[in-house]
Structure 1
Amino acid sequence: MREIIFRGKRIDTGEWVYGDLIHERYGTCIQFIITVNPRGKGAPERKPTIERHKATIDPATVGQYTGLKDKNGKEIYEGDILDCSYVNPMTGNKVERLFFVECGEAAFVARCIGHSPFGDIYLHFENTEGNIIGNIHDNPELLEEG
């Protein structure tokens, strides 16, 4: 089954939260679930309890999970910045570029930061070595490095 998860930065703490995206009259929220284990020594064996929480987030920071992971197994979201390498089919040379992830018209797209003779690419990781190095919200300086 496909996972549909969103992330966004909390307005009150600046912390990233992950879960379901909710649009309410007073703002955009992420609802997330945490598992709470019994605290203290000698607590009787119990099933963990599950709590639902909502956090108001900055709508400009919302990003959807792409369903893909980088080479280290980290989930890739819209707004992530990837350090990728690929083999140029014309020259056979290995090329390293930075890309940022966004939702295109039909798929998630990796947009090259700086010049690329191939332009944007649909996001997939066949024959590439992609690694998340930041995101456009926490690391805007990476957008200038291309």
Structure 2
Amino acid sequence: MREIKFRGKRIDNGEWVYGSYTHCRDVDGNPSIIPFRANYHVPVDRETVGQYTGLSDRNGKEIYEGDIREGDHAIYLIEWNAEKAQYQAKAIQTKTVLIKHCSFPLWQYVEDDGKCRFVVIGNRWDNPDLLEG
């Protein structure tokens, strides 16, 4: 069964919260996440909300939209492609012009054990320096 969950940075303290996304808004219009096994919602920064891809990296870490992975020749940003209805790794920094601005579907990185063959090294909000060229 597919696990549907989200993460976002709390408005009050900037900590990550994981759970179910809800359309409930606080007085400032911020969306909320209901933490798992909780009966309250936490307002989060809408720019930081990302969905779990359903995949884990080589070390078993869950992969979310906005995560950053390192490859042999590039730094990639994990994002949703609505046109193709798939999660993908988009080359942001690269040592070769051949893959600059190219995107690759995440499914092509999945090994027989169900984990992706790469490691998540950060995310776009906590580690923006990883995306700078």
Please, what TM-score do these two structures have when normalized by structure 1?
Answer: 0.74
Question: Which letter does structure 2 place at the counterpart of 1:4?
Answer: I
- Change in Cα spacing, 1:53 to 1:120, as seen in structure 2 (3 Å) is same
Segment of structure 1 superposing worse, 99-108 or 18-27:
18-27
Please list every run of 5 or more consecutive structure 2 residues that lacks an aligned counterpart in the other structure: none
Aligned match for 2:128, one of 116, 140, 143: 140
Alpha-carbon distance in structure 1 between the residues aligned to 2:64 and 2:45? 16
> Match of 1:141, SS?
helix
Please list every run of 5 or more consecutive structure 1 residues that lacks an aligned counterpart in the other structure: 35-50, 85-94
Please, what TM-score do these two structures have when normalized by structure 2?
Answer: 0.81
User: Structure 2 matches for 1:1-146, cutoff 5 A?
Assistant: 1-26=1-26, 27-34=30-37, 51-84=38-71, 95-105=72-82, 106-115=85-94, 117-118=98-99, 119-124=102-107, 125-126=109-110, 129-145=117-133
After superposition, what is the alpha-carbon deviation per residue over 1:73-97, rounded to whole angstroms, capped at 9, x for unaligned? 000000000113xxxxxxxxxx342
| 4+ aligned runs moved over 6 Å, structure 1 | none
Alpha-carbon distance in structure 1 between the residues aligned to 2:2 and 2:57? 17
Question: Which letter does structure 1 place at the counterpart of 2:59?
Answer: N
> Match of 2:23, SS?
strand
Segment of structure 1 superposing worse, 97-106 or 108-117:
108-117
Greater strand proportion = 1
Question: Which letter does structure 2 place at the counterpart of 1:103?
Answer: W
> RMSD between aligned alpha carbons?
1.7
Residue pair 2:20, 2:36 contacting (<8 A) in 1 also: no
Alpha-carbon distance in structure 2 between the residues aligned to 1:137 and 1:25? 22
Shift of 1:13: 1.0
